[in-house]
């Protein structure tokens, strides 16, 4: 009786052990794509139990070994048939359609893809999606109006429309006197192509217009949007686009309302070598319509004398420079510092190179805090970069 009881207990423990092992195998079989192995595994498990029925201790150990072997085989085969790639779902940015109100650039909207895209990897810097060089050029045949916003310069506006800054200036009379005199909210006419947008006046002919802007009559009539032939009658007020035309710049008029003194004739302290008058970012370089440098930084940034000299003007300039300082260096050179927020010198004062003379601001016609810096030699403005270290 005891012998039968012991055999029954051993069989019950072995069955329990086998059932636990089978449960472990069943758990593994829940892995996707391994159901195809289920039938084989169950057959092997049953065979193991029947084969080892008469060897209780050895059977239990061998049963465990068999299950572990099966598990190992499953894991190995799973590496062959369960390679599932994972993708980090990318987010791309799609720009809204171009708005009708000029001077406005919408923020990009996030658009999440519903399917993984085809990836290609390239070493190097990442370019902004829809960067200017990738955007298809939009051909325009008519002028448009652009509203100046913070940080704009003639160069940045020209680049936005694929034009030269001269074209922007020539199309806007108030900029011809001083191209640096932009203000936020100002409306600018933007021609469709580089050249001069001419408004017909009494007595104008195609020949006189072509001669004035140094082009041929064919250049004018070949621009189809003009809708002109050699026999066309011009109407006063009519606008004609002169592709490739050039227009001389008008010398800026000066209207000073501050204190100005005559430069001394015996000042000899200048070195003739200039230093940078401020720290910051160059937002506009020197070009034909803006022979100066614009250096942007925070309001209140220190402004320094680029060389030793005598301050001959401190005050307001109503042509657009705002608060301005003019220094005569006694050697044919003068330097101008415009759009200041504060003065640290007075007219007639001698200053050394690097002396603090004022603070950066956005006074006058300006679209943001910056220093408008000019180097003038014998009355002619120079490219400052040719003189700065």
**Same domain as 161, residue 47:** no
Residues 271 and 196 in one domain: no
- Cα 186 from chain centre: 23
* pLDDT(102) > 80: no
Same domain, 225 and 324: no
Same domain, 158 and 225: yes
Instruction: Tell me which of 66, 81, 96 is where a domain ends.
Output: 81
Q: Is 324 helix (H, G, I), strand (E, B) or coil?
A: strand
Give residue 109's pLDDT.
Answer: 35
Structural domain boundaries, residue 153: 144-243
The H or E element containing residue 367 is: none
Q: Is the dihedral of CA 55, 61, 65, 66 positive or negative?
A: positive
Predicted pLDDT of residue 320: 84
CA pair distance 334, 339, nearest whole angstrom: 17
233-243 confidence digits (pLDDT tens) = 999 999 999 99
Over residues 281-289, mean pLDDT? 87
For range 357-383, the mean pLDDT: 93
90 vs 255, higher pLDDT: 255
Q: Distance between alpha carbon 380 and the CA centroid of its chain, in Å?
A: 34
pLDDT (mean) for 223-233 = 93
Q: What is the pLDDT of residue 140?
A: 84
Residue 194 lies in a domain: yes
The stretch 59-70 carries a mean pLDDT of 59
Residue with the larger pLDDT of the pair 128 and 176: 176
Q: Are residues 228 and 273 in the same domain?
A: no
| Residues 232 and 292 reside in one and the same domain | no
Residue 8 lies in a domain: yes
Secondary structure, 3-state, 280-304: CEEEECCECCECCEEEECCCCCEEE
More confident residue, 301 or 39: 301
Task: Mark whether 284 and 193 lie in a shared domain.
Answer: no
Q: CA–CA separation, 171 vs 192, rounded Å?
A: 11
- Which pLDDT band, with edges at 50, 70 and 90, does 353 fall under? very high
Q: Is residue 274 part of a domain?
A: yes
Tokens matching residue 9: 């207990």
Residue 38 CA to residue 25 CA, distance in Å, equals: 9
Residue 278 lies in a domain: yes
Pick the residue with more confidence: 151 or 218? Answer: 218
Do 71 and 180 belong together in one domain? no
Mean pLDDT along residues 279-298:
90
- Please state the separation of Cα 46 from the chain's center in Å: 70
Q: Is the pLDDT of residue 245 over 90?
A: yes
What is the distance between the alpha carbons of residues 48 and 63, in angstroms, rounded to a whole number?
7
3-state helix, strand, coil in the chain (%, to 5): 30, 25, 50
- Count structural domains, the chain: 3
Residue 380, number of CB atoms within 10 A of its CB: 8
Give the Cα separation of 225 and 197 in Å (integer). 12
pLDDT tens digit string along 14-43?
A: 555 555 555 554 544 454 445 555 566 665
Encoding tokens for residue 43?
A: 């057959």
Q: 192 and 234 in one domain?
A: yes
Phi then psi dihedrals of residue 325, to 5 deg: -125, 135
| Cα–Cα distance for residue pair 254/180, rounded to 1 Å | 14
Residue range 345-360: mean pLDDT, rounded? 94
Collapsed DSSP state (helix, strand, coil) of residue 220: helix
The pLDDT of residue 236 is: 94
Q: Which of 183, 213, 243 is the C-terminal boundary of a domain?
A: 243
Chain position carrying tokens 């390239």: 122
Does 126 map to a domain?
no
Nearest alpha carbon to residue 374 among 363, 362, 386, 384: 384
pLDDT higher at 89 or 372: 372
Last residue of a domain, one of 217, 243, 269: 243
pLDDT computed for residue 82 by the predictor: 41
pLDDT attached to residue 290: 86
Hey, which residues does 311 pair with through a beta bridge? Answer: 327
Greater pLDDT, 160 or 8: 160
> CATH number of the domain that 231 lies in?
3.10.350.10
For residues 166-176, give the mean pLDDT.
88
Q: Is residue 248 part of a domain?
A: no
Q: pLDDT-derived band of residue 163, with 50, 70 and 90 as boundaries?
A: very high
pLDDT at 253: 57
Q: Is 348 left (phi over 0), alpha (psi -120 to 50) or beta?
A: left
**CA dist., res. 306 & res. 351, Å (int):** 10
Q: Does residue 174 sit in the same domain as residue 217?
A: yes
278/374 same-domain check: yes
Residues 63 and 158 in one domain: no
pTM for the full predicted model = 0.48
CATH number of the structural domain spanning residue 285: 2.70.70.10
Answer yes or no: is 136 within a domain. Answer: no
Does 313 have pLDDT greater than 70? yes
Residue 95 lies in a domain: no
Lowest mean pLDDT among 136-145, 151-160, 201-210, 351-360: 136-145
């Amino acid at each position: 009786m005891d012998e039968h009881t012991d055999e029954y207990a051993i069989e019950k423990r072995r069955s329990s052990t086998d059932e636990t092992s089978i449960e472990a195998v069943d758990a593994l079989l829940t892995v996707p794509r391994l159901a195809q192995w289920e039938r084989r595994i169950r057959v092997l498990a049953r065979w193991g139990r029947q084969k080892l029925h008469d060897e209780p201790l050895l059977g239990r150990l061998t049963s465990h070994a068999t299950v572990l072997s099966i598990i190992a085989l499953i894991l190995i085969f799973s590496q062959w048939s369960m390679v599932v790639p994972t993708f980090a779902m990318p987010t791309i940015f799609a720009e809204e359609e171009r708005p009708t109100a000029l001077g406005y650039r919408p923020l990009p909207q996030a658009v999440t893809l519903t399917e993984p895209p085809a990836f290609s990897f390239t070493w190097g810097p990442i370019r902004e999606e829809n960067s200017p060089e990738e955007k298809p050029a939009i051909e325009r045949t008519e002028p448009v109006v652009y509203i100046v916003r913070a940080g704009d310069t003639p160069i940045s506006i020209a680049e936005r429309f694929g034009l030269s800054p001269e074209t922007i200036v020539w199309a806007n009379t108030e900029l011809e006197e001083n191209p640096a005199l932009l203000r936020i909210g100002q409306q600018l006419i933007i021609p469709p192509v580089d050249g001069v947008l001419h408004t017909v006046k009494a007595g104008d002919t195609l020949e006189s217009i072509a001669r004035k802007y140094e082009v041929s009559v064919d250049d004018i009539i070949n621009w189809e949007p003009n809708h002109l032939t050699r026999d066309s009658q011009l109407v006063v007020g009519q606008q004609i686009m002169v592709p490739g035309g050039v227009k001389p710049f008008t010398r800026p008029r000066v209207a000073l309302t501050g204190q100005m003194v005559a430069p001394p004739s015996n000042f000899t302290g200048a070195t003739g070598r200039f230093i940078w008058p401020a720290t910051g970012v160059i937002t506009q370089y020197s070009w034909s319509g803006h022979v100066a440098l614009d250096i942007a930084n925070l309001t209140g940034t220190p402004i320094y004398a680029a060389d030793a000299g005598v301050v001959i003007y401190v005050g307001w300039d109503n042509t657009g420079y705002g608060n301005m300082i003019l220094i005569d260096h006694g050697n044919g050179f003068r330097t101008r510092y415009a759009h200041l927020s504060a003065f640290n010198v007075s007219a007639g004062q001698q200053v050394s190179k690097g002396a603090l003379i004022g603070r950066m601001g956005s006074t006058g016609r300006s679209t943001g805090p910056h220093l408008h810096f000019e180097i003038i030699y014998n009355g002619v403005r120079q490219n400052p970069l040719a003189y700065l270290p």
